[in-house]
Structure 1
Amino acid sequence: MSGYGFPTLLQYSRLTSTAADLKSRAEQARTEMVTGRIANLKTELGGTIGDVHLLNKAIGDVTARQDAATRALGRTQASQSALTLAGDGIVTIGADLLSAVGQSHEPSINIAGTKAKLQLDAAVSAFNTRYEGRSLFSGDASNLPALADAETLLTDVRAIFAGAADNAQLQTDLDAYFNDPAGGFETTIYTGGSGNAARTEIADGELVDYSAKADEQAVRDLLRHLATVVVADEQTGFVDRSAALSTAAGGLIQADSDITAIRARIGASEERIAAAQTRLEAEKTAYSITYNEHTARDPYEAATLLQQIESQLEASYIMTSRISLLSLTNYLR
C-alpha cells in the first residue's frame, strides 16, 4: 500500500503558499544579483531606512546641482565663443583704417568698410546666439532675439549721417541714438529683456551670475563704430568723413578692450562653476559611498542564495505535483 496519506485541501494550500513565497524570494535574489543592491530596503534595514532615504535625497540634490552647473558652464562657453566672434579682427580693422585715413588712401578705406560690414553682420549674429533654445544675450527675455538685423541698424545710422552737419554733430547724434534710454538702439535695435538672466545655484545658497547682455555699453560701442565705418565709407560726400572714420577706428580699438573685459568677467564665473563642480563631485562620492555601505548586496552571495531558493522551490513543486496526483483510488491500491 502506498505510504502517502489522503491529501487534504489544507496540505495542498500550505505547499502552494510555500511555493509562492519561495518564488517571490527567488525573484528578489535574482534582482539583487543583477543590481548589486538590496531589493527590499524596508525589511533589511528596519529603523535605519530613514537615514538611507535622506542619503538618497542628498545624492539626488547634488546630481541636480551638477546638471545645473554643467548647463551653466555650457552657456558660459557658448557666450565666450560668441564674444570672440563678435570682436574678431576689430583691432586690425581700426588700425588699418587709421593708417588709410592718414594717407587718404581710398582703396584701403573701402577695404576697411567692407571688412566692417562683414564684421557687423558677424557680431549681430553672435549676439543672437542661442544655447539650449535660450538667447544668451537677451537677459531675462531669453525667448527673444537680442538684436534686430544689421541692415535695420545701418538704415538708422545712414539717417543720422544725413542729418549731421559735421563730425561733432554726428557724434552727438550717435550718442543720443546708442546711449539715450529713448534712443533708437534701445527702442529698435536691442530686442531683449531689461533685466539680467536668472542666476544658477551651484551650491547650497551659492548663486553665480554668468550672463552678458547685448545692451551693455561695450556692445553698443562695438556696433556703433562698426556701423559708422560702413556708412562713412559709403558717404564720400560727408564734410567730415575723415574725422568720422578716424573716430570710429579709434572706437573699434577701444571696443576690443571692452569686449575682452566682458569675457574676463564671464571667465571668472566659469572658474567658480568649475570649482563648484569639483566640490559637488567630491560630495556626491562621499554620499554614494555611505549609501552603498547601507544598501549594497554582494552579487556572489545573492547568486548563492538564489541557487538555494531555486532548489527548495523545485522540491516544493515536486511535492505539490505528487500530492495533486493522489486520489482515493490510488490511496486504496
Structure 2
Amino acid sequence: MSGYGFPTLLQYSRLTTAAADLKSRAEQARTEMVTGRVADLKSELSSSIGDVHLLRKAIDDVRARQDSATRALGRTQSSQTALTLASDGIVTLGADLMSAVGQNNEPSIDISATKAKLQLDAAMSAFNTRYEGRSLFAGDAADAPALADVDTLLDDIRTIFAGAADNAQLQTDLDFYFNDPAGGFATTIYTGGSGNAARTEIADGELVDYSAKADEQPVRDLLRHLSTIVVADEQSSFADRNIALTTAAGGLIQADSDIVSIRSRIGAAEERIAAADTRLNAEATAYSLTYNEHTARDPYEAATRLQQIESQLQASYLVTSRISLLSLANYLR
C-alpha cells in the first residue's frame, strides 16, 4: 500500500502556504544579493527602524546640499574662465596702442584696432557664457543672455563719435552711454536682470554669493575702451582721434586690474564653497557608514541563503505535485 496518507484540503493548503512563504523569502534574498541591502527593514530592525529612517533623511539632505555646492563650484570655475577670456592680453594691447599712437605709427594702430575688435568679440561672447543652460553674468535673469550683439554696441559708439566735436565731448557722451541708467548700455546692451543670481546654501543659514554681472563697472569699462578703440581707428576725420585712442588704451590697462578684483571676489566665494563641499562629503560618508552598519547585507551570505531556500522550494513543489496527483483510484491501487 502507498506510504502517502489520503490527501486532504488542509494538507494541500498548508503546503501551498509554505511554498508561498519560501518564494517570498527567496525573492527577498535575491533582492539583498543584488542590492547589498536588507530588503525588509521593518522586520530586520524592529524598534530601530525610526533611527535608520532619520539617518537616511540626513544622508539625503547632505547629498542635496553637496549637489548644490558642486553646481556652484562649476559655475564659479566657468565664471573665472570667462573673465580670463574677456580680459586676456588687454594690458599688452593697451601698452602697444599707446606706443603706436606716440610714434604716429598707423600700421601698428590698425593692428591694435584689429586686436581690439577680436578681443571685444571674445569678451562679449564670454559674458554670455552659460552653465547648465543658465547665463553666468545675467544676474537673476538666468534664462536670458547677458549682453546684446557686438554690432549693436559698435553702431551705437559710431553714432556717439559722429555727434562729438572733440575728445572732451566724446568722453562725456561715452560716460552717459555706459554709466547712466538711461544710457544705451543699460537700456540696449545689457539684457540681464537687475538683481543678483540666487545664493547657494552651504550650511544651515550660511549662504554664499558667488555671482558676477555683465553690468558691473569693470565690465562696462572694458567694453567701453575696446569698442572705442575699434571705432576710433575708423574715424580718420575725427580731430581728437589719437587722444581718444590713447585715453582708451590707458583705460584698458586699468580695466584689467578692475576685472581682477571681480575674479578675486569670486575666488574667495569659490574657496568657501570648496571647503563646504569637502565638509559635506565627510558628513555624508560618516552618515553612510552608520547607515550601512544597520542596513547592509553581505551579498555572498544572501546568495548562500537563496540557494538553500530554492532547494527547500523545489522540495516543497515536488511534494505538492505528488499530493495533487493522488486520487481514490491511485490510493486503492
- Listed as ranges, the gaps of 5+ residues in structure 2 are none
For residues 238 and 33 of structure 1, the distance between their equivalents in structure 2, rounded to whole angstroms, comes to 82
For residues 273 and 117 of structure 1, the distance between their equivalents in structure 2, rounded to whole angstroms, comes to 36
How far the C-alpha of 1:81 sits from its partner, in A, is: 1.1
Deviations 1:198-254 (A, max 9, x none): 111222222111111000000000000011111111111111112111110100000
Partner of 2:112: 112
Partner of 2:181: 181
Q: Kindly provide the amino acid, as one letter, of the partner of residue 114 in structure 2.
A: T
Partner of 2:59: 59
TM-score relative to the length of structure 2: 0.97
Partner of 2:280: 280
SS at match of 1:188: helix
How far the C-alpha of 1:304 sits from its partner, in A, is: 2.8
For residues 138 and 299 of structure 2, the distance between their equivalents in structure 1, rounded to whole angstroms, comes to 53
SS at match of 2:202: strand
SS at match of 2:47: helix
Matches within 5 A, 1:159-198: 159-198=159-198
Deviations 1:147-176 (A, max 9, x none): 111111111111111111211111111111
For residues 243 and 294 of structure 1, the distance between their equivalents in structure 2, rounded to whole angstroms, comes to 76
Matches within 5 A, 1:82-231: 82-231=82-231
Partner of 1:70: 70
For residues 239 and 52 of structure 1, the distance between their equivalents in structure 2, rounded to whole angstroms, comes to 80
How far the C-alpha of 1:258 sits from its partner, in A, is: 0.6
For residues 130 and 8 of structure 2, the distance between their equivalents in structure 1, rounded to whole angstroms, comes to 75
Q: Kindly provide the amino acid, as one letter, of the partner of residue 64 in structure 2.
A: A
For residues 291 and 271 of structure 1, the distance between their equivalents in structure 2, rounded to whole angstroms, comes to 30
Partner of 2:309: 309
How far the C-alpha of 1:326 sits from its partner, in A, is: 1.3
SS at match of 1:201: strand
SS at match of 2:238: coil
How far the C-alpha of 1:301 sits from its partner, in A, is: 2.5
How far the C-alpha of 1:308 sits from its partner, in A, is: 2.4
How far the C-alpha of 1:310 sits from its partner, in A, is: 2.0
**For structure 1, which segment, 237-246 or 191-200, has the greater mean C-alpha deviation from structure 2 after superposition?**
237-246
SS at match of 1:115: helix
TM-score relative to the length of structure 1: 0.97
Give aligned pairs, total.
333
For residues 328 and 283 of structure 1, the distance between their equivalents in structure 2, rounded to whole angstroms, comes to 70
For residues 300 and 227 of structure 2, the distance between their equivalents in structure 1, rounded to whole angstroms, comes to 72
**For structure 1, which segment, 298-307 or 271-280, has the greater mean C-alpha deviation from structure 2 after superposition?**
298-307
How far the C-alpha of 1:145 sits from its partner, in A, is: 0.8
Partner of 2:45: 45
Partner of 2:17: 17
Deviations 1:239-276 (A, max 9, x none): 11121111101000000111111111111111111111
Partner of 2:6: 6
**For structure 1, which segment, 140-149 or 315-324, has the greater mean C-alpha deviation from structure 2 after superposition?**
315-324
Root-mean-square deviation (CA, aligned residues, Å) is 1.1
How far the C-alpha of 1:305 sits from its partner, in A, is: 2.2
Identical-residue share of aligned pairs (%): 83
For residues 117 and 4 of structure 1, the distance between their equivalents in structure 2, rounded to whole angstroms, comes to 99
Q: Kindly provide the amino acid, as one letter, of the partner of residue 214 in structure 1.
A: A
For residues 25 and 156 of structure 1, the distance between their equivalents in structure 2, rounded to whole angstroms, comes to 77
How far the C-alpha of 1:278 sits from its partner, in A, is: 0.6
SS at match of 1:76: helix
How far the C-alpha of 1:300 sits from its partner, in A, is: 3.0
SS at match of 1:308: helix
Deviations 1:24-72 (A, max 9, x none): 1111112112222110001111111111111111111111112111111
How far the C-alpha of 1:13 sits from its partner, in A, is: 0.8
For residues 242 and 4 of structure 2, the distance between their equivalents in structure 1, rounded to whole angstroms, comes to 118
Partner of 1:259: 259
Give runs of ≥4 in structure 1 deviating > 6 Å.
Answer: none
SS at match of 1:162: helix
Q: Kindly provide the amino acid, as one letter, of the partner of residue 65 in structure 1.
A: R
How far the C-alpha of 1:311 sits from its partner, in A, is: 2.4
Q: Kindly provide the amino acid, as one letter, of the partner of residue 310 in structure 2.
A: E
Matched, 1:238 2:234: no
Q: Kindly provide the amino acid, as one letter, of the partner of residue 27 in structure 1.
A: E
For residues 328 and 178 of structure 1, the distance between their equivalents in structure 2, rounded to whole angstroms, comes to 104
Q: Kindly provide the amino acid, as one letter, of the partner of residue 248 in structure 2.
A: A
For residues 253 and 129 of structure 2, the distance between their equivalents in structure 1, rounded to whole angstroms, comes to 24
Q: Kindly provide the amino acid, as one letter, of the partner of residue 98 in structure 1.
A: M
Partner of 1:35: 35
For residues 112 and 307 of structure 1, the distance between their equivalents in structure 2, rounded to whole angstroms, comes to 79
